[in-house]
Amino acid sequence: MAFVITAPCETEKAGECATVCPVDCIEEGKDQFYIDPDICIDCGACVAVCPVDAIVEEYDMTADQESYLEKAEAFFGN
């Protein structure tokens, strides 16, 4: 997985990320949006449009953001 949607999305849920994704790998969950790691092509279009900077690369995540990777994996059944 290249990108993970983190905490700021929980209060914003704007959705621009899902609109610009060229491969439709972003889905809306109950509390936030999630990126499907099996479909994502790592283009970064979602990062550029997120109004709250909620999308980070997996390798740039801080320890307190690790739970968001786990939430995404669980959402898509990985």
Assign residue 68 the CATH number of its domain. Answer: 3.30.70.20
pLDDT of residue 2: 79
Give 10-residue mean pLDDT values along the chain (78 residues). 90 94 96 93 96 94 94 90
pTM of this prediction?
0.92
Pair 62, 1: CB distance under 8 Å: no
Instruction: Give SS3 for 78.
Output: coil
Residue range of the domain that includes 63: 3-75
Pair 35, 1: CB distance under 8 Å: yes
Domain count, the chain: 1
Distance separating alpha carbons of residues 48 and 63, to the nearest angstrom? 23
